[in-house]
Structure 1
Amino acid sequence: MSTQSNNSEFFQKLISNRQSVRAYKPDAVEKEKIDRILEAGRISPSACNAQPWKFIVVDEPELKNNIADATSNRVIGINHFTKQAPVHIVVVLEPANFNSNFGSIMKDKNLPLIDIGIAAAHLCLQATAEGLGTCILGWFNERTVKKLLNIPRRKRVILIITLGYAATDELREKKRKTIEEVVSKNKY
């Protein structure tokens, strides 16, 4: 079997195995794995090579629990699992370069936010390759997170990614639209 075929099969399996993990083992995540995950985010593509991100690794237990508190909501019962994750990666939007900002205005697209999404996907896929689970969170108290991490007021926290060893290796059935629902050819 060719290397290209092996790579394709590996990548398809990686994508299929990546899922949002909402139950974690208490085991610490090895620094080497975290470093490779961060490198995957760092080398992610971005519009005009803007790289509009900063990744803050939060693994100090008390601080991590305070960040977890900022992600959960008792009233509507979401994100209570976040305290279980031994690591949180906080994704901060950094200023994009002139070309990216100009393109965003001219094409009415928020290119830096698209770039953040691409980087988050790379982080999560590398984590899956490392045998780790992740969950991308958009629901959190941004003001609290910024205060806890000394993030300047003018900065935006876009995502928080929980990271750790999944409590179970079981893969859930993915509920996705059919290919016909999401793909067309040559026209809408």
Structure 2
Amino acid sequence: MDYESLLELVKQRRSIRRFKPDPIPDEYVDKIIEVARWAPSGFNMQPWEFVVVKEPELKKRLVEYVDQYWMLAKSMETARESWQGKPWKTSGVRNAGMDYTTAPVFIILFGDTRTSAGLPMGVRYDPNRYRTIFTSGLASAFLYMHLAAATLGLASQWVSAITTPYAACMVKNLLGIPAEMEPYDMMALGYPAIKPRPKFMRDPEKMIHYGLCVKEDFRSDEEVKDFVKKARNWTIGSHRRKSDE
């Protein structure tokens, strides 16, 4: 693959929040996981485990656990700083426009904490380094999954609320996941029912720095606040879209 092809693939990978209910071939799921298992991981410990969920009743339960988080998140929005703009207004993930529930497949990525035994002792007993290495490997595998899905014409969404304490506890109990496994994230996977808007991006010249730097090389507090406000407004609008209009 040349650089331009890779860049185009990365640009095409977008989080889609509305799916067609059409089934996905098992072959596609296998291909996505095959790509993910080649992801880099610290000291090649390959901590990942993939749990594919297609059964409607199990998917319904998973959605209920995530919705519990969104109910809590709604109340937390009352504490949002006023300069950021409007708070999220949602009584559940579906009312926020993030209706991933029609996706025919959920793939939950778990990390096996027992793989820490293979790390150097200096890493194994340094909580910060261990956590960084463990999470980085899982993040790489999860990103590979999304890129692979894009090459197959599939849409995907990160459902990170699956890792909140309540949801993680309930999900592991529901699916019979051993205690040693930690959920990293859940992918909702299916065919897109909506075309995403052009992505709101930062200017590259404002984020690239060379050699020795001074504080003035980076954005000021006001510049960061301005970007946060614009990015939130774009995201809220994107989430609430219910069609390609």
TM-score scaled by length of structure 2: 0.68
Q: Does residue 1:119 correspond to 2:141, yes or no?
A: yes
Corresponding residue number in structure 1 for 2:188: 162
SS at match of 2:22: coil
Alignment check: 8 A CA contact 2:16 2:196 kept: no
1:139 aligns with 2:161: yes
The answer for the alignment partner of 1:130 in structure 2 is 152
Structure with greater helix percent: 2
Larger radius of gyration: 2
Report the 3-state secondary structure (helix = DSSP H, G, I; strand = E; otherwise coil) of the residue aligned with 1:64: helix
Amino acid at match of 1:24: F
Are 2:177 and 1:151 aligned?
yes
Give the total of aligned pairs: 182
Show structure 2 runs of 5+ residues with no match: 75-89, 214-245
For residues 17-68 of structure 1, give each alpha carbon's deviation from its aligned partner in whole angstroms, at most 9, with x where no partner exists.
1111100000001111111001011111111101111010001111112112
Distance of 1:181 and 1:100 partners within structure 2? 37
Bigger shift: residues 22-31 or 9-18: 9-18
| Distance of 1:82 and 1:101 partners within structure 2 | 41
Q: Which residue matches 1:84?
A: 102
Q: Report deviation, 1:135.
A: 0.9
* 1:30 equivalent in structure 2: 25
RMSD (Å), alpha carbons: 2.0
Q: Where do residues 167-178 of structure 1 align in structure 2 (5 Å cutoff)?
A: 167-168=193-194, 170-178=195-203
* Superimposed CA distance per residue, residues 100-153 of structure 1 (whole angstroms, 9 cap, x where no aligned partner): 674365594320111111100000000001101111121131111111111123
The match for 2:206 is: 181
Cα distance in structure 2, aligned partners of 1:79 and 1:118 = 26
CA contact under 8 A between 1:50 and 1:100: conserved in structure 2? no
Counterparts of 1:124 and 1:71 in 2: how far apart (Å)?
20
C-alpha contact 2:112 2:180 (8 A) present in aligned 1? no
Deviation >4 Å, runs of 4+: 104-107
Q: How does 1:9-28 map to 2 (within 5 A)?
A: 9-28=4-23
